[in-house]
Amino acid sequence: MRIAAVGDLHCTATSQGTFQPLFDAIATAADVIVLCGDLTNYGLAEEARVLVKEMSPVSRLPVVAVLGNHDYESGAADQVKLVLGEAGIQILDGSGCDIQGVGFAGAKGLGGGFGERAVQPWGEDIMKRFVHETIDEALKLESALARLRTPRRIAVLHYSPVRQTVEGEWPEIIPFLGSSRLEEPLLRYPVAAVFHGHAHHGQVEGRTRDDTPVYNVCLPLLRERYPERPPFHLLEL
């Protein structure tokens, strides 16, 4: 199986024609497509409809996706999901699916930081809610992984589960780009690989504590690092 992964398309209402070359290239290279959030720029159904049209070259391929923070910007995430779902894109939000014997499990994730310096549920209620929301996202991912019965699993996130792939971003925003709490399910339910986006100026690859590869497939990052080829990551299982 050849898996093409990319995130952070940030499709707008005026993006018609922008992404067709990307999906033309994916159509000839991949068997499955993984989209790692921020599919739209303002979280509008109109933007999702443009993206669906841009994806016409891969209309026959299975596509799984998670939403990102931009997809929630306008409070219309349900509408975005509906448009994408009607086009055959499977949105993973604490859920999973089996494609040709490979399991895909996904959740959006959230921030909070990494390791000993991660934000703790202490103090003001709003800080406690923030941490609990990240924990809920980690539990979503764990539940999705636990339900899969496939010999190989792929995890899909928007936020990063490891610090390595967000290194290079401004230090002040690193705690908002991911959380090591998202790594815990990956250690309990081993996966072949993890895909995420969100960190536009991070690193393209990191590793979990048990040496599982973690790929940052943010489109702007891939364009910057690999200007000579189409901006998606291709993983062959």
Q: Tell me the mean pLDDT in the region 188-209.
A: 97
The pLDDT assigned to 72 comes to: 98
* 173 — pLDDT class (breaks 50, 70, 90): very high
Q: What is the pTM of this model?
A: 0.97
CATH (residue range 2-236): 3.60.21.10
With bands split at pLDDT 50, 70 and 90, how would you rate the model's confidence at 117? confident
Mean pLDDT calculated for residue range 156-175 = 97
User: b/e for 76-104, b at 16 or more Cβ within 10 A?
Assistant: bbeebbebbeebebbbbbbbbbebeebbb
Mean pLDDT score of the chain, rounded to an integer?
A: 97
What's the confidence (pLDDT) of residue 4?
Answer: 98
Residue that is written with structure tokens 């072949």 in the block: 192
* Edge-to-edge order in the sheet of strand 32-36: 89-91, 63-66, 32-36, 2-6, 233-236
211: left (phi over 0), alpha (psi -120 to 50) or beta: left
pLDDT band at residue 151 under the 50/70/90 scheme? very high
The pLDDT of residue 11: 98
| Segment 30-36 mean pLDDT | 98
